[in-house]
């Protein structure tokens, strides 16, 4: 037992080889991303299928499963605007694998199937208690399936959307089975961070040149530049890889004060700042509020040395702004002024009355009442994944409304209870572990990230409703990580408890011998 405890405690502090591996695998994931871009947009059509087949084979025989989970999630989340093409009619897109006519598997679909099989065949057989009640998600999916059958769904809709979306939840089994080492989970987090640089670069390129990076590299893409009237008709540079930026922001929180940190704190702060800059350049109101909330909660409830962090944060922020301004990379004054105009321009007071800008006014005066009229027709159980659900769906009206549309009042009650359960259980473990446990801060940080998602889901995006699209949901990726870290904490708690008992017994023996 002493040897086991000693090895475990020592492993928490062995960083040199892990740091080198993170650097190597970061370089590898960037190279594979570039190769993927070339295979889709430059190489002869059809070569991309061969290249991704090689990727799948490498994944099957690889011991670095954390790397492949990160890679396939990242390329599915459209980093820097690449791989946004989803139509089967588009020649240049991530490859589709056709099984039967009119039914194809995406790259993410194939990876999820392979990872599930690999988890059964090669994964570690570990009994992990379902501490967060993930099983209830699957039970609720069955209820939604019954509701779906009642309202009716076509085979094409079923294969193209809910089947693909719900299969994503196999990650709750495959990820813990294949990525079961704590250090590997930390390395998984690190793989996302360099793509924040790509995101900010592509946004900056658009603002600097007036055109998309993709149009410059591949003119046949012919992407249309969007100008926002609230920003004085200036270009609005949205972040296509928004989900990557959000998760990277949260992952930096998890790693910053952790024994699993394998890079400098400066690197993590740079990623946080660039992620924040990306949201500002996007001029997305809800995302900026979300980032501000997460940052505030992190500083108040998680950080140990607040003064040191804030000093570093401010210094690095000043340096970044100085570099942007000195080299005239962006007209920051104009950009930030345009963003501010959009943030405050949504609702204005004129002649004593509130007036909403056109897009917001259209949502409130037309789209919201229309969606509500559909919801009222099946307000108890919703429409599940039926054809009616997809015909009525409007993701810009807010998570609560979409939850009502999908699952009715019953489902909304389930979602609320489930989120409360996540908070309740996690907080109980944080109190149980105390600050002596090396995962406590990680749990707090992940809970901070959850808070951001809950805020965004409540009023804007439908993040917490069960998945029905081809994209992975960042909320549930964070939920998987939260589940992992709780189990890591339980293991450490047990080991430290045994260590304490061993020391007490040793002291008693010494006293008895004396």
Say if residue 349 is exposed, middle or buried (CB neighbours under 10 Å; 0-12, 13-18, 19+): exposed
User: pLDDT (tens digit, 9 = 90+) per residue, 420-438?
Assistant: 999 999 999 999 998 889 9
CA distance 194 to 83: 18
Residues of the chain with confidence (pLDDT) below 50: 1, 347-358, 508, 511-514
Q: What is the pLDDT of residue 462?
A: 63
Domain residue extents for the chain: 1-122+170-183, 127-152+346-514, 193-281+288-323
| Separation in Å, CA 499 to CA 1, 3, 89, 494 | 8, 10, 62, 9
> Tokens 């099946």 label which residue?
378
Q: What is the pLDDT of residue 512?
A: 43
- Asked whether the beta carbons of 232 and 338 are under 8 A apart, the reply is yes
pTM of the complete model: 0.89
User: pLDDT (tens digit, 9 = 90+) per residue, 239-283?
Assistant: 889 999 999 999 999 999 999 999 999 999 999 999 999 988 887
CA distance 126 to 439: 20
Say if residue 373 is exposed, middle or buried (CB neighbours under 10 Å; 0-12, 13-18, 19+): exposed
Q: What is the pLDDT of residue 72?
A: 96
Other beta carbons within 10 Å of 146: 10
Q: What is the pLDDT of residue 162?
A: 76
């Amino acid at each position: 037992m002493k040897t086991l405890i000693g090895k475990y405690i020592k492993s928490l502090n062995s960083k040199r080889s892990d740091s080198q591996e993170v650097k190597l695998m970061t370089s590898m994931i960037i190279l594979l991303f570039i190769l993927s871009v070339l295979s889709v947009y430059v190489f002869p059509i059809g070569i991309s299928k061969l290249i991704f087949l090689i990727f799948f084979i490498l994944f099957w025989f690889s011991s670095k499963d954390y790397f492949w989970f990160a890679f396939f999630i990242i390329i599915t989340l459209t980093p820097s605007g690449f791989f946004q093409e989803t139509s089967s009619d588009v020649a240049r897109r991530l490859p589709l694998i056709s099984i039967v006519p009119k039914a194809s598997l995406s790259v993410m679909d194939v990876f999820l199937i392979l990872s599930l099989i690999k988890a059964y065949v090669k994964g570690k057989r570990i009994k992990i208690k379902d501490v967060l009640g993930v099983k209830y998600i699957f039970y609720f999916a069955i209820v939604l399936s019954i509701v779906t059958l009642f309202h009716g769904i076509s085979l094409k809709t079923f294969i193209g959307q809910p089947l693909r979306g719900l299969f994503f939840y196999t990650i709750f089994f495959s990820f813990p089975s294949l990525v079961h080492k704590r250090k590997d989970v930390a390395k998984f987090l690190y793989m996302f961070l360099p793509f924040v640089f790509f995101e900010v670069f592509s946004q900056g390129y658009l603002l600097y040149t007036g055109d998309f990076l993709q149009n410059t590299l591949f003119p046949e893409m012919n992407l249309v530049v969007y100008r926002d009237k609230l920003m004085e008709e200036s270009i609005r540079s949205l972040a296509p890889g928004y989900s990557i930026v959000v998760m990277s922001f949260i992952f930096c929180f998890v790693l910053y004060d952790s024994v699993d940190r394998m890079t400098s704190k400066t690197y993590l702060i740079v990623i946080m700042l660039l992620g924040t800059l990306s949201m500002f350049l996007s001029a997305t109101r809800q995302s900026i509020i979300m980032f501000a909330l997460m940052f505030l909660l992190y500083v108040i409830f998680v950080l140990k040395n607040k003064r040191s962090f804030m000093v570093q944060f401010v210094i690095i922020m000043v340096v970044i702004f100085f570099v942007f301004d000195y080299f005239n990379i962006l007209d920051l004054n104009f950009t930030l002024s345009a963003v501010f105009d959009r943030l405050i321009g949504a609702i204005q007071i004129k002649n004593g009355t509130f007036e909403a800008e056109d897009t917001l006014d259209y949502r409130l005066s037309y789209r919201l009442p229309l969606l509500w009229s559909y919801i009222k027709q099946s307000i108890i159980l919703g429409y599940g994944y039926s054809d009616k659900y997809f015909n009525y769906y409007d993701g810009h009206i807010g998570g609560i409304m979409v939850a009502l549309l999908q699952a009715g009042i019953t489902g909304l009650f389930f979602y609320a209870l489930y989120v409360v359960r996540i908070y309740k259980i996690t907080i109980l473990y944080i109190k149980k572990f105390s600050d002596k446990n090396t995962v406590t801060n990680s749990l707090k940080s992940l809970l901070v990230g959850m808070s951001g998602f809950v805020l965004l889901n409540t009023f804007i995006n439908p993040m917490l409703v069960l998945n029905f699209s081809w994209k992975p949901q960042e909320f549930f990726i964070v939920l998987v990580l939260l589940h992992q870290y709780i189990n890591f904490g339980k293991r450490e708690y047990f080991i430290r408890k045994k260590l304490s008992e061993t020391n007490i017994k040793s002291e008693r023996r010494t006293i008895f011998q004396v």
